């Protein structure tokens, strides 16, 4: 991050990374840097963390003094909040990146902070990508954090419960930032177009172009501003004057934005018909075993910024709904993909979602699970509940035996085959078959075995005929 900002006007910095983030950016700094909020009022989104009296609001307002771990997707304001906290405390700001700093650099900052503290000056230490710090590097921070030699503000895109050592977690507030909403991104873009720190009204933007920028941002303000800057630069190069040839400001159209960021608009509305149409096509392509079409629709959802948790939920449902016991591993793959979404996040989680999509699309299909639970529920809802057979009832409480509970129950493991004749359903449902396996995939083997199991349990097979 060095070089993105002009040097601070206060005393010369002495630690690594000092003088960045908290000073005013130069005119040639990237648009995303120039538009970084300079006050609490300029922060967009994160209302759940910035309510009246909240710990984060108190920190940014200068009335709190706790170390914090800011956890959330890229472009949601973690770095901005670190800078505002530093400005509010009036302390010196030091920035380290876990990608390049080691224990030596951490200890150097702490030594400088300790000397400053003697003079009554607090040091705010910002560590980006803190999850990349090793345990040893994180442990080097513990004493300084606990004794407030530094006020730590750490940022991470990973769940800190899995990537930050427990002692550091216990000494810090853990605050989770959320992806910005589409309305938040629109506000960020509108401000950048009009603000003197940004484009200062030198261009206008059409509604389709604005919506495309919102779509490609995926909740990331930095990405949205970078795309806007590239589009505006191209338009102003083509029309370098104060206004267009007709006296009007250049207008960014959808084609201009597409050309500038080299990305076609995704025809997808997360709140409209396209959301349901694409989702429906995605699931039906998997059900129809067209892996290529399924991957196409998956890509459209990802490119449009669809919530990956929604995609993972659909895959888990589909694994039981359309595959079931034909490939029992399908559900495990879908659940694993959902865990990757939760623990790793995007964009890396797209690989797990693609893997699950390929597994489910190429797996043998069966609606046996849906039919089985549907038929069973239909009987229950029709009143076919019946009384639980006495030998299956709980016989562990006092007086149970007197009611006949548990008497006559046969323990299957006492049988050499582990299966024996015994009534399990209520009287009205004896002999009813709910599950009908297909001959697809794993169900082919289940079908052959299920017939034998039903015959044995229902007492239809002589003892001698079922020896292994």
Say if residue 172 is in the same domain as residue 191.
Answer: no
Expressed as residue numbers, the domain containing 156 is 31-176
Asked if residue 243 has pLDDT above 70, the reply is: no
| pLDDT at residue 269 in the model | 52
Say if residue 169 is in the same domain as residue 39.
Answer: yes
Say if residue 298 is in the same domain as residue 399.
Answer: no
Asked if residue 166 has pLDDT above 60, the reply is: yes
Last residue of a domain, one of 261, 296, 327: 261
End-to-end CA distance of the chain: 71
Domain assignment present for 8: no
Alpha helices (H) in 319-392, listed in sequence order:
329-343, 349-362, 368-381
CATH number (domain holding residue 222): 1.10.8.60
Domain assignment present for 215: yes
More confident residue, 262 or 70: 70
Place of tokens 């599950």: 435
Say if residue 301 is in the same domain as residue 251.
Answer: no
Last residue of a domain, one of 147, 176, 205: 176
Is the pTM of the predicted complex or chain greater than 0.75?
no
| pLDDT at residue 63 in the model | 62
* Cα–Cα dist 5/195, whole Å: 19
Say if residue 244 is in the same domain as residue 284.
Answer: no
More confident residue, 304 or 351: 351
What is the number of structural domains in the chain? 4
Q: What are phi and psi of 200, to 5 degrees?
A: 55, 35
Domain assignment present for 421: yes
Q: Which of 1, 4, 2 is nearest to 29 (CA)?
A: 4
Domain assignment present for 36: yes
Say if residue 424 is in the same domain as residue 458.
Answer: yes
Say if residue 395 is in the same domain as residue 356.
Answer: no
CATH number (domain holding residue 114): 3.40.50.300
Instruction: Answer yes or no: are the C-beta atoms of 23 and 7 closer than 8 Å.
Output: yes
Say if residue 187 is in the same domain as residue 171.
Answer: no
Last residue of a domain, one of 176, 207, 234: 176
* Cα–Cα dist 307/294, whole Å: 17
Query: How many C-beta atoms lie closer than 10 Å to residue 273's C-beta?
Result: 8
CATH number (domain holding residue 340): 1.20.272.10
pLDDT digits (tens, 9 = 90+) for 6-55: 333 333 333 434 345 555 666 678 888 888 888 878 888 888 888 787 87
Half-sphere exposure in the Cβ direction for 353 (13 Å, CA) = 28
Given 3-state DSSP classes, what are the helix, strand and coil percentages for the chain, each rounded to the nearest 5? 50, 5, 45
Kindly report the CA angle at 198 between 194 and 199, in degrees rounded to 5?
Answer: 65
CATH number (domain holding residue 398): 1.10.3710
Asked if residue 316 has pLDDT above 90, the reply is: yes
Say if residue 162 is in the same domain as residue 218.
Answer: no
> β-strands 204-205, 173-176: how paired?
unpaired
Say if residue 197 is in the same domain as residue 71.
Answer: no
Say if residue 144 is in the same domain as residue 38.
Answer: yes
Tell me which H or E stretch contains 107: helix 103-118
265: left (phi over 0), alpha (psi -120 to 50) or beta: beta
What Å distances lie between residue 3 and 6, 20, 25, 174, 204, CA to CA? Answer: 7, 8, 9, 30, 30
| CA dihedral sign, ordered 448, 451, 455, 458 | positive
Q: Which residues contact 42 (CB under 8 A, 6 or more apart)?
A: none
Kindly report the CA angle at 229 between 224 and 233, in degrees rounded to 5?
Answer: 155
| pLDDT at residue 239 in the model | 63
Say if residue 401 is in the same domain as residue 280.
Answer: no
Q: What are phi and psi of 287, to 5 degrees?
A: -60, -35
Inter-axis angle of helices 221-238 and 254-261, to 10 degrees?
A: 110
Eight-class DSSP state of 165 = -
Domain assignment present for 22: no
| pLDDT at residue 270 in the model | 54
Domain assignment present for 4: no
């Amino acid at each position: 991050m060095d070089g993105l900002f002009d040097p601070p006007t206060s005393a010369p910095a002495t630690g690594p990374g000092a003088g960045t983030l908290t000073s005013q950016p130069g005119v040639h700094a990237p648009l995303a840097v120039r538009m970084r909020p300079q006050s609490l009022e300029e922060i967009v989104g994160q209302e759940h963390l910035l309510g009246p009296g909240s710990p984060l609001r108190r920190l940014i307002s200068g009335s709190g003094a706790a170390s914090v771990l800011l956890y959330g997707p890229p472009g949601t304001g973690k770095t901005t909040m670190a800078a505002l906290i530093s400005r509010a405390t009036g302390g010196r700001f030091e920035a380290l990146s876990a990608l390049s700093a080691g224990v030596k650099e951490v200890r150097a900052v702490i030594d400088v902070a300790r000397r400053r503290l003697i003079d009554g000056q607090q040091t705010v230490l910002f560590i980006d990508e803190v999850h990349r710090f090793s345990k040893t590097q994180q442990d080097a921070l513990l004493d300084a954090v606990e004794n407030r030699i530094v006020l730590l503000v750490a940022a991470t895109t990973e769940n800190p419960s899995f990537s930050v050592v427990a002692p550091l977690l216990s000494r810090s507030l853990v605050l989770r930032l959320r992806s910005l909403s589409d309305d938040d991104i629109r506000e960020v873009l509108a401000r950048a177009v009009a603000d003197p720190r940004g484009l200062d009204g030198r261009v206008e933007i059409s509604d389709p172009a604005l919506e495309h920028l919102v779509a490609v941002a995926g909740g990331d303000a930095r990405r949205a501003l970078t795309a806007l800057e590239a589009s505006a630069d191209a338009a102003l190069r083509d029309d370098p004057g104060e206004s267009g040839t007709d006296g009007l400001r250049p207008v960014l159209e959808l084609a201009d934005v597409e050309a500038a960021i080299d990305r076609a608009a995704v025809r997808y509305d997360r709140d409209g018909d396209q959301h349901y149409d694409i989702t429906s096509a995605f699931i039906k392509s998997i059900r129809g075993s067209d892996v290529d079409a399924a991957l196409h629709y998956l890509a459209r959802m990802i490119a449009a910024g669809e919530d990956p948790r929604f995609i993972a939920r659909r895959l888990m449902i589909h694994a039981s709904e359309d595959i079931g016991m034909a490939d029992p591993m399908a559900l495990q793959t879908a659940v694993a993909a959902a865990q990757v979404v939760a623990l790793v996040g995007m964009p890396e989680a797209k690989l797990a979602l693609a893997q699950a999509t390929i597994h489910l699309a190429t797996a043998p299909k069966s609606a046996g699970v849906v039919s089985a639970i549907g038929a069973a529920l239909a009987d229950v809802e029709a009143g076919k509940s019946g009384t639980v057979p006495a030998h299956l009832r709980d016989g562990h409480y006092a007086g149970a035996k007197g009611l006949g509970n548990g008497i006559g129950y046969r323990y299957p493991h006492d049988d050499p085959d582990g299966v024996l004749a015994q009534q399990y359903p209520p009287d009205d449902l004896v002999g009813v078959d709910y599950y009908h396996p297909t001959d697809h995939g794993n169900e082919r083997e289940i079908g052959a075995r299920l017939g034998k199991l039903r015959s044995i349990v229902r007492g239809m097979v002589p003892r001698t005929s079922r020896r292994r």
